[in-house]
Structure 1
């Protein structure tokens, strides 16, 4: 069962989403919030697998700020940004804040359900036009030689990378960061995927080059 928290300042939108999602046999809405601070509190209370977060909530904490704070408190939670803005600026900022995906409010119901299932598994989801623009932006940066994959890592992923490079086991890292071993493994997998590295020694060498251990190559 995918437990879902809805964070949107429009009660009608929340009601419509709740009715749709609760009809799905594998989904259940466990809570609702009208702005970011309330969303963070409800997430800590209900421990959802997926948070559907509106970007624009003028009467409280906005979706981007709430996403960044919530990922620090609950790095294992998957946040799907729901927005009316088909704009790469919002897309990039959402990803940088720690969102697992982004979908337009105008998207068909079946696309929304697919997006929820995707991020619930720990995978990333972007609507098709956003994926195309993101790849164009990235390839443009690669051609100009200005891309740095280190910037793709979240703060928590950088912490995990540093501790791995210092020789700590997954269990020891989990104890230091007060998270589960499974969450550590998830972060490690994300780091390796983003940096295109395959082994622990490669991670250590990369961390040294970046000066994460206080010295570099």
Structure 2
């Protein structure tokens, strides 16, 4: 997926969970990596092919398939880690244990962000600003990133094409997730495209029309 200037996006699936890690390259070459779940060598090779200089690591949440490569990537690039919300320390402090348990990345390290994010914050790379929205439900400290000029959002595991995030993990909550989707994502506009943590790109409008969990007609019938 390539976005017109001022930035480009390369989606790099990583780990056996095929998590969509996104590399955002600004026009000046500076880059942010969203949710480096592992396979850091693969991510660095993709960044090199883009001529992207990784300066930032942005985390939507702390599940191991999204964050287990964050500390290694920081050490190898000098990038700063921003996100998720401070409530996500619950999961970020379990990365090493979870990595070993699931065998995804034996080198996965617990993540200590350089900056916690909250609703209304912004993050920036190469002069491109993304708005931050606090979207709990899948996890307690989940956030999403939205670039309003490009009408593009990176939503982690809040919403997928045709589905929504799981809420059966510790500190997940189904109604909180529904509230995050309808109160934080839908107002961003039906024509806004979004990159999920897994699976294909969609638009909020398409999900409002056809998603089996959060389509307007489904929620109206609840």
Same fold (TM > 0.5): no
Instruction: Give the TM-score normalised by the residue count of structure 2.
Output: 0.31
Bigger strand fraction: 2
Instruction: Give the TM-score normalised by the residue count of structure 1.
Output: 0.32
Q: Which has the larger radius of gyration?
A: 1
